[in-house]
Structure 1
Amino acid sequence: MSLSPEQLQAIRVAAQWYARLHSGITTDAERAGWRAWLAADALNDQAWQRVAAVSEQMSSVPGALAAPTLSTSPGRSRRQVLRSALLLTSAGCLGWLSWRSETAQNLLCDVRTGVGERREVRLADGSRVLLNTNTSVDVRFDGQQRILKLLWGEIIVTTAADPSQRPFKVFTDQAEVLALGTRFIVRANSQGGEVSVLEKAVEVRLLGGGPAVRVDAGRQLGFDRQSLGTLRANDVSVGAWQQGSVIAIDRPLAALLTELSRYRLGILRCDPAIGDLKVSGVFPIDNTDLALAALETGFSLRVTRYSRFWVQVSRGERG
């Protein structure tokens, strides 16, 4: 598949619009801007259909968004849908991927999800927590404070006002996140983590002490045990998993497979020879086999299944 620079740019913009429209905080002006962009050029309409194709298969695109574009292309075959699921450009070399699991460590937590599962929990104060795949959380509320301990994984927190004005904090192994009446995402593992703010603000500080850093809406901050990272703008894919998708914009294939591996059991590896292939598109996390089939069917790649729990993606033979 050969795409012009104009087509590639339209795909990038379409993926950005998709992420914005599925953020949960879209304004009327942004929706009007999306419609204007869609109508401005046939390439934009084609790009939107490419980005939304896999999500259409998974019924994860709300009807109000999908109807103006997806309904204009009835009768597309499964092969056509799979071909439009992602775009691969440029090649290089990257290392292999490996499966990780912290299940044993987290068996005694208060709330958890299995691999591939998402779950929303309403807390005693009315706050809501959405747990992503393979996530473990302890809840500690008392008369002085409201605390979540994120042992592993990723959560979206929507805080509720508290009559007693108890602070709401999320702890990881490395950092403390103080909510300032907000909606935010925390992702953590044994090495470090990241905070992305969707509404209002949070303050982040290392557990070992030091000054707090304020993170406002639209910004994110990474951290490890030694230091806080640099504030930067949220990536357009932030939080897309709540809608059942991973959004990629010029993302290396190896990195995409690493992300998809979070949602399936076993090992998902990438041949180093194709690790740097760039990917743009929207990929389902509730059926990762569909994303793998898109790679195999649409782009002459080979998905080798040594067993149900051991899969490798490599370059296929061209016929």
Structure 2
Amino acid sequence: MAWARRRSPRGWACRWRRSSATSPRRCCFAALPIDAVSGLTPSSAIPLSVREQAVTWLVELQSATADEDTHRRWRQWRDADPTHAQAWARVAAFGDTLQSLPPHIAQAALQAPSSAARRKALKTLALLIGVGGAGWLTAQTPWRAWSADHVTGVGERATLALEDGTEVQMNAGSALNVRYTAGARRLQLLRGEILVTTARDPQGRPFSVDTEQGNARALGTRYLVRQLADHSAVTVFEGAVELRPARAGQPRRIEAGQQASYSSVVVDPPQPADDAASAWVDGMLVAQDMPLPVFLEALDRYREGRLYCAPDAAHLTVSGTYPLADADRVLALLQTTLPVTVDHYTRYWTTVSLKKIEKK
């Protein structure tokens, strides 16, 4: 383990890094013509070599090994020349995945950096960006997470000390923007999970965390916020939090010792808080009758590749305390405590399924 500390305009960021192997990631381009985007410099005005560099950065930033240094070097490249920024705007508009491109191009783009197939694929993608009707744009914007102010990768946690004394702890696989202005203190959680301990602001500015589904405003608080696939969740340990859905839903106050999920239109009734929800801060995963798919999703943040729960095992629950530092050991332990089999189909795809009972 090694600690790295970097200076940002909003405070110090202390990062705990673990070494990890390179993991390929798929991405996809949704079907909107690139000509539909307004306000972008025509790709024909951007040299092909610069477009190739931008596409290379696109792939690098979504790699499982992308870290703060990767993002720092990307920002240096982007800011070094106006054409770099223009090329990145085109690439960023492309979206976050290569899924709807021909499979051989998507797969080759994710091969080793020295691979001839990868170089050819990246050049092909750069050419596609330059052809108006041949490109696609994604309707979603996960690419924003790659260029967020603070990003954690697989098995990586970070502690941020913000300018007002607020402390933010980031779980693995998280992305966060910090937006402090003269009138407000706002965090934008783009992905993952954070634990916030707010500080009293001499200027009296309100503090809140924005997710895709809405806003969680602190009322003298220590609280945890998660951005999930189709909703957000908050657990309050101290003080209170006001949850306000993004689309005109009624706000709801969540008190210490409570937790609640919310969509963009409604806040669910609060439930008793899970006191172990923040155990990841100490490198542990504590489960009490936790559904196996939820358990595997939490563990997946700490290992390379994809961890999948087969439908026949989805009804199982997990209880116990598990160290996040060795996810594969946890998977091995599951096979001794649950009737499951862990199958590693490739280095990057692992399935947990119900153990088959052999007939005698």
Query: Which range, TM-score by smaller chain?
Result: 0.5 to 0.7
Per the TM alignment, residue 200 of structure 1 is displaced from its structure 2 partner at its CA by 0.8
Q: Does 1:181 align with 2:220?
A: yes
Match among 130, 137, 160 for residue 121 of structure 1: 160
Aligned counterparts, 1:146-157, within 5 A: 146-157=185-196
Partner of 1:254 in structure 2? Answer: 293
Per the TM alignment, residue 281 of structure 1 is displaced from its structure 2 partner at its CA by 0.7
Q: Does 1:162 align with 2:201?
A: yes
- Give the whole-Å Cα distance in 2 for the aligned partners of 1:191 and 1:211: 19
Per the TM alignment, residue 210 of structure 1 is displaced from its structure 2 partner at its CA by 4.2
Q: Does 1:213 align with 2:259?
A: no
Partner of 1:137 in structure 2? Answer: 176
Give yes or no for contact 2:251–2:267 (8 Å, CA) kept in 1.
no
Which secondary structure does the structure 2 equivalent of 1:204 belong to? strand
Aligned counterparts, 1:44-193, within 5 A: 104-193=143-232
In the superposition, relative to structure 1, how do residues 207 and 275 fare at CA in structure 2: closer, same or farther (>3 Å)? closer
Q: Does 1:200 align with 2:239?
A: yes
Output one character per residue of 1:69-125: Cα deviation in whole Å (capped at 9) or x when no partner.
Answer: xxxxxxxxxxxxxxxxxxxxxxxxxxxxxxxxx864411111111122111000011
Give yes or no for contact 2:240–2:253 (8 Å, CA) kept in 1.
yes
Tell me the TM-score normalised to structure 1 length. 0.63
Per the TM alignment, residue 312 of structure 1 is displaced from its structure 2 partner at its CA by 1.5
- Give the whole-Å Cα distance in 2 for the aligned partners of 1:224 and 1:103: 18
Partner of 1:230 in structure 2? Answer: 269
Q: Does 1:282 align with 2:314?
A: no
Give yes or no for contact 1:191–1:225 (8 Å, CA) kept in 2.
no
Give yes or no for contact 1:111–1:138 (8 Å, CA) kept in 2.
yes
One-letter amino acid matched to 2:344: R
Per the TM alignment, residue 272 of structure 1 is displaced from its structure 2 partner at its CA by 2.8
Match among 341, 346, 350 for residue 302 of structure 1: 341
One-letter amino acid matched to 1:293: A
Output one character per residue of 1:259-310: Cα deviation in whole Å (capped at 9) or x when no partner.
Answer: 2223323221233333323321112222111111112355564322122211
Partner of 2:102 in structure 1? Answer: none
- Unaligned 5+ runs, structure 2: 1-140
Partner of 2:119 in structure 1? Answer: none
Identity %: 39
In the superposition, relative to structure 1, how do residues 273 and 207 fare at CA in structure 2: closer, same or farther (>3 Å)? closer
- Unaligned 5+ runs, structure 1: 1-101
Greater Cα radius of gyration, structure 1 or 2: 2
One-letter amino acid matched to 1:168: F
Match among 241, 244, 265 for residue 283 of structure 2: 244
- Give the whole-Å Cα distance in 2 for the aligned partners of 1:125 and 1:227: 31
Per the TM alignment, residue 144 of structure 1 is displaced from its structure 2 partner at its CA by 1.2
Per the TM alignment, residue 193 of structure 1 is displaced from its structure 2 partner at its CA by 0.3
- Give the whole-Å Cα distance in 1 for the aligned partners of 2:312 and 2:339: 14
- Give the whole-Å Cα distance in 2 for the aligned partners of 1:192 and 1:302: 30
Tell me the TM-score normalised to structure 2 length. 0.56
Which secondary structure does the structure 2 equivalent of 1:242 belong to? helix
Which secondary structure does the structure 2 equivalent of 1:295 belong to? helix
Give yes or no for contact 1:109–1:138 (8 Å, CA) kept in 2.
yes
In the superposition, relative to structure 1, how do residues 246 and 108 fare at CA in structure 2: closer, same or farther (>3 Å)? same
In the superposition, relative to structure 1, how do residues 207 and 241 fare at CA in structure 2: closer, same or farther (>3 Å)? same
Give yes or no for contact 1:152–1:190 (8 Å, CA) kept in 2.
no
Q: Does 1:268 align with 2:310?
A: no
Partner of 1:312 in structure 2? Answer: 351
Q: Which has the higher contact order (CA 8 A, sep 6+)?
A: 1
- Give the whole-Å Cα distance in 2 for the aligned partners of 1:104 and 1:312: 27
Partner of 2:94 in structure 1? Answer: none
Give yes or no for contact 1:127–1:158 (8 Å, CA) kept in 2.
yes
Per the TM alignment, residue 148 of structure 1 is displaced from its structure 2 partner at its CA by 0.6
Give yes or no for contact 2:307–2:349 (8 Å, CA) kept in 1.
yes
Which secondary structure does the structure 1 equivalent of 2:183 belong to? coil
One-letter amino acid matched to 1:154: E
- Give the whole-Å Cα distance in 2 for the aligned partners of 1:278 and 1:132: 23
Give yes or no for contact 1:301–1:317 (8 Å, CA) kept in 2.
no
Which secondary structure does the structure 1 equivalent of 2:199 belong to? coil
